[in-house]
Amino acid sequence: MVLKIRKNNDWRPNPAIFQPVTALETLDLSKNHLKSLDFLFEANLTQLQKLILQNNDLSVMNEKVFEALPSLQYLDLSLNPFVCNCSNAGFIHWVVFNRRVYVEGAFQYKCASPQAHLGAFLLDFNYRWCWESTGFFCFVSSSALVLLVILCSFIYHFLRVQLLYSFYLLRAFLYHRKRQGCAEIYDAFVSYNVHDEEWVYRELVPELEERQGWKLCLHHRDFQPGERTLKSSLLHSLFYDSIVLCSGKAILENIISAIYSSRKTLCVISHQYLHSEWCSREIQMASFRLLDEKKDVLVLLFLEELSSNQLSPFFRMRKLLRRRTYVSWSGARSHRGLFWEKVRRALQSGTELPAEACCLQTCDL
């Protein structure tokens, strides 16, 4: 059975028209200005052996179409304006290597575009370059992705603390600029570890607030309503940064607000304090205020004897020890009066720093 449909300028083929002729063996669709052969996917021409498509507007061919014609043996695509670029790479490969279908005059098919290949033979186009460039692009992309994953892992494991610290310093800097000219609410913000909370409320708070009359800012007591949390080990974990309290500020904003709303920051340092990532951030933010404002705002209170080796990860703290006021609770049980007097003097001292680098002498017991 042979079917010829030729010279139809406005013809739009519909797969349904081929349903009554499923036994069709030869189909001639020449000079119909066809731009695509996708209609053949659903035409169900399983017995078609010869397909003539001369002088159409076929520029890019989908070689998968011919898989829908399992009996096809002869194909004529002469006088079509083929595009010689990577969009025809699959079709050119199919023409060269398929052994089932004879493509009439394939070696005479010429390029109509792009301009650089105008008049050249279609089968002379180096289609392998398309796959090589695609493979190279995939290689570069996958390599870049692997390097990005490695870089992110490196940053997370080795630079995470530095990046977080920089972020906190930026937040503190912006908060400081926002609060310029505002009055300080507290005499001191007390930075301590949850394991030392009992000592803070049993010894430090009664002495400094009730007897000496200082106004202290404490985590659990003085943060705004709805923003209090239990400062447990969860708060010292890596997930602490993502905790936002139910109403109002995040914990980080509370800490920055407390530091900048107080004349001084009193750090109660112990072994647990040194091993707390969050406590280290508090003293770092207080150190930033010291360096930024050039004011004597930091007082270090040591609950225990600590060796220099234990302080080595806290190099900023070690620098502060050389020039900041600090007091030590260890061994002060028989000299409590003297100890608290030194704390009072440290809190009472002015905030302006002397010109010398080693501006304040250490006070030890």
- In tens, the pLDDT along 177-232 reads 666 666 678 999 999 999 999 999 999 999 999 999 999 999 888 765 444 443 43
∠ CA 206-212-213, nearest 5°, is: 90
pLDDT of 362 over the 50 cut: no
**Whole-number Å distance between alpha carbons of 29 and 106:** 18
- Return the percentage of the chain with pLDDT > 90, whole number: 37
Confidence of residue 235 (pLDDT cuts 50, 70, 90): very low
What is the pLDDT at residue 311? 64
What is the pLDDT at residue 357? 34
Mean pLDDT score of the chain = 79
pLDDT of 332 over the 80 cut: no
Q: Report which of residues 157 and 249 the model is more confident about.
A: 157
pLDDT of 9 over the 90 cut: no
Structural tokens at position 265: 């920051």
What is the pLDDT at residue 40? 93
Q: Tokens 């209609």 — which residue?
A: 39
* Secondary structure (H, E, C), the chain: CEEECCCCCCCCCCHHHHHHHCCCCEEECCCCCCCCCHHHHCCCCCCCCEEECCCCCCCCCCHHHHHHCCCCCEEECCCCCEECCHHHHHHHHHHHHCCCCEEECHHHCEEEECHHHCCCEHHHCCCHHHHHHHHHHHHHHHHHHHHHHHHHHHHHHHHHHHHHHHHHHHHHHHHHHHHCCCCCCEEEEEECCHHHHHHHHHHHHHHHHHHCCCCEECHHHHCCCCCCCCCCHHHHCHHHHHCECCCCCEHHHHHHHHHHCEEEEEEEECHHHHCCHHHHHHHHHHHHHHHHHCECCEEEEECCCCCHHHHCCCHHHHHHHHHCCEEECCCCHHHHHHHHHHHHHHHHCCCECCCCCCCCCCCCC
What is the pLDDT at residue 258? 85
Confidence of residue 106 (pLDDT cuts 50, 70, 90): very high
For the stretch 10-68, pLDDT in tens is: 788 888 888 888 889 999 999 999 999 999 999 999 999 999 999 999 999 999 999 99
**Whole-number Å distance between alpha carbons of 334 and 300:** 21
What is the pLDDT at residue 245? 38
What is the pLDDT at residue 316? 52
- Return the percentage of the chain with pLDDT > 70, whole number: 74
Q: What dihedral do alpha carbons 249, 254, 260, 265 form, nearest 10°? A: 180
- Domains of the chain and any CATH numbers: 2-126 (3.80.10.10), 182-348 (3.40.50.10140)
pLDDT of 328 over the 50 cut: yes
